[in-house]
Copies of this chain bind each other. A is one copy, B any other.
Amino acid sequence: MERVDSKTVYEGKIATVRVETFRHADGSETEREVVAHPGAVAILAHDDERIYLVRQPREAVNEESLLELPAGKLDVDGESPLECAQRELAEEVGKAASDWRELKRFYTSPGFAQEEVTVFVATGLRDESRDAGEEERIEIVPWPLAEIDGAIEECRDAKSLVGLQLLRELLDG
């Protein structure tokens, strides 16, 4: 199956909807509607004692304040997932890391959205200057690694839940 056309039918501040046309091998065509997304990254940044989480109000879910992994969209042209993760960790948490490891890629809601998240583990942390724009919006939450179960209990964000559960498995293994 080959994509022969892609039309943007709605473009807003946070959501873009496209209708894509595909041609099958027999020449017949199908249309499909998707919520477009450039992809995202999420970061499990930890040392021996703490994992650095964030808390922020989320407009899409009634301003509920959610405990999450530091994360961000691949919205800079030509930036790789790893570069994006390094930028987001500095901007949101004010940290750089010497060791980066890709842990898992998955789709957040493949029933309607393109979004794919890549989760990284970042260790060998050191302080960096934080993005001033993020300081008001995002609270840094240094969480004791020994109490990671409590973070999983409180967390209601899918990408963060997947990451925290994988990290618990890694630490237990």
Chain A: residues with CB nearer than 8 A to chain B? 1, 9-10, 12-15, 17, 19, 32-35, 37, 40, 58-61, 63-64, 66, 71, 73, 104-117, 155-159, 161-162, 165-166, 169
Chain A at the B interface: mostly helix, strand, loop or mixed?
Answer: mixed
Q: Could you tell me if A106 and B155 are in contact, using CB atoms closer than 8 angstroms? A: yes
Smallest Cβ-Cβ distance to A161: which chain B residue: B162
Q: Could you tell me if A12 and B17 are in contact, using CB atoms closer than 8 angstroms? A: yes
For A71, the chain B residues whose CB sits under 8 A away are 111
Smallest Cβ-Cβ distance to A160: which chain B residue: B106
In the assembled complex, the Cα of A1 lies from the Cα of B115 at a distance in Å of 29
In the assembled complex, the Cα of A58 lies from the Cα of B35 at a distance in Å of 13
In the assembled complex, the Cα of A71 lies from the Cα of B111 at a distance in Å of 10
A91 vs chain B, min Cβ distance (A): 15
Of the candidates B9, B73, B157, B161, the one whose C-beta lies within 8 Å of that of A10 is: B9
Q: Could you tell me if B156 and A159 are in contact, using CB atoms closer than 8 angstroms? A: no
For A61, the chain B residues whose CB sits under 8 A away are 107, 110, 114, 116
In the assembled complex, the Cα of A111 lies from the Cα of B36 at a distance in Å of 13
